[in-house]
Amino acid sequence: MEKIDRYLQSPEFLDLADRFLYQKALENVEHYFKRILDLQISKPIKKNQVKGLQITSNEKSFSQLYSMAKNQLEKARLRLKDPDLEESRDTIFWSMVCELIDNNKKGAFALKEQVKEILETQGLGDGTKKEKKVATEKLRSELTTIFFEHFCCHYYYLSNKPINPV
Amino acid sequence: MINPAFLKELDIFLDQYYEQSKKTGRYLSICFPGKGGKNQVRNFENIVYTARRISAIQNFIKNQMGKESSERQTWTKIPSESTMSMGDFLLFQLEELIQKAKSLSENDLGLNMEFGLYLARIWAKQVASEYLYQIIRGGADGKD
């Protein structure tokens, strides 16, 4: 068994998935609903768009997921009269998703950065170039699927609360 | 496999928690009274049994709650005598089990996971047994 596979089955990884990623996903969904409320937007993004995110994060690669999120953001912007000045429930949502996948801002949480950090701290990227690539891909795939599973389920949960009807 | 000394502590806790589990079983019989309800509770029990992580159980409950419309409520129904919906009540109890596992495992991540899943599985069994018992009796009134 490869080092990365052992790590993905380790208590450290399961704990990261259940606590850290879970908490981050909840925080971001709650932040989204708060922004929607603050901006007095009557409804959050439709559940079928969130379902699309969940399915893509399960079935597609990390880069395909990022492309999908960017594409959705672009489409949402095009629906606005003035994309430079306006925001909608969809643009807020998809720009948040893009930043959750890849964000260079210092201190910001992003899955791409998390993968890098785990590879370094766990010594998973120490082997050959090919081994590092395999480890990166596996870790990205696991982390993304788990994170967006937490994220989407919490979204469905909150969207059905009386204060947030979709 | 869990060390017998820990197992004893976990089982003592579960015995003390039994009344809470029974309450949940009774609430379930109010929210899931029919045949379809039985399938839902069985499905929930299966999810708890097969979960590798506690968050899979939390996500399952949230997902079920998120699917419902206001016209047809089961997971989101608030049983009489409760201030929380069925799903929120399950999430609340699950959180209590998570905290218990955390306090017993003393920062050992492997034990924490093992204890949490053990507690959740026995709890689900207690809850589902009470649910089936109430269904056979013709349903509960939601009172303690």
ipTM entry: 0.91
Whether residue B35 is contained in a domain is answered as yes
* Portion 95-134 of B in contact with A at CB < 8 A: 109-110, 112-113
Nearest to B82 by CA among B72, B95, B92, B70: B92
Whether residue B108 is contained in a domain is answered as yes
In b/e form, how buried is each residue of A139-157, taking b as 16+ CB within 10 angstroms?
A: bbbbbbbbbbbbbbbbbbb
In this prediction, residues A93-106 reach a mean pLDDT of 95
Whether residue B11 is contained in a domain is answered as no
How many domains would you assign to chain B?
1
Instruction: Using a pLDDT cut of 70, give the percent of chain B over it.
Output: 96
In angstroms, the CA A74 to CA A90 distance is 10
Tens of pLDDT, residues A9-56: 999 999 999 999 999 999 999 999 999 999 999 899 999 999 999 999
Q: Domain range spanning residue B129?
A: 18-65+77-137
Count chain A–chain B contacts defined by CB atoms under 8 A: 48
* Chain B residues inside the 8 Å CB shell of A156: 62-63, 65-67
In angstroms, the CA A59 to CA A55 distance is 6
Whether residue B8 is contained in a domain is answered as no
* Portion 13-42 of A in contact with B at CB < 8 A: 14-15, 17-18, 22
Tens of pLDDT, residues B37-48: 899 999 999 999
Cα of first residue to Cα of last residue in chain A, in angstroms, is 45
Q: Is the pTM of this model over 0.90?
A: yes
Q: Dihedrals φ, ψ of B34, to 5°?
A: -90, -170
Q: Is the pLDDT of residue A83 over 90?
A: no
Transcribe A53-92 into DSSP letters: HHHHHHHS-HHHHHHHHHHHHHHHHHTSS-TTT---HHHH
For the beta carbon of residue B47, count every other beta carbon within 10 angstroms: 17
Min distance A146 CA to chain B CA atoms (Å): 9
Pick the residue with more confidence: B35 or A43? A43
Mutate to test the interface with A, among B55, B57, B83, B117 (most CBs of A within 10 A): B55
Confidence band (pLDDT; 50, 70, 90) for B143?
very low
Q: Is the pLDDT of residue A122 over 70?
A: yes
Q: Is the pLDDT of residue A68 over 60?
A: yes
For the beta carbon of residue A126, count every other beta carbon within 10 angstroms: 12
In this prediction, residues A82-86 reach a mean pLDDT of 83
In angstroms, the CA B68 to CA A166 distance is 11
Q: Is the pLDDT of residue A108 over 60?
A: yes
Lowest mean pLDDT among A93-97, B71-75, B96-100: B71-75
In this prediction, residues B109-136 reach a mean pLDDT of 96
Q: Is the pLDDT of residue B72 over 90?
A: no
Q: Inspect the interface and report whether the beta carbons of A156 and B67 lie closer than 8 Å.
A: yes
Nearest CA in chain A to B114: A11
Half-sphere exposure of A163 (CA within 13 A, CB side): 7
Tens of pLDDT, residues A126-154: 888 888 999 999 999 999 999 999 999 99
Average pLDDT, chain B: 92
Nearest CA in chain B to A148: B59
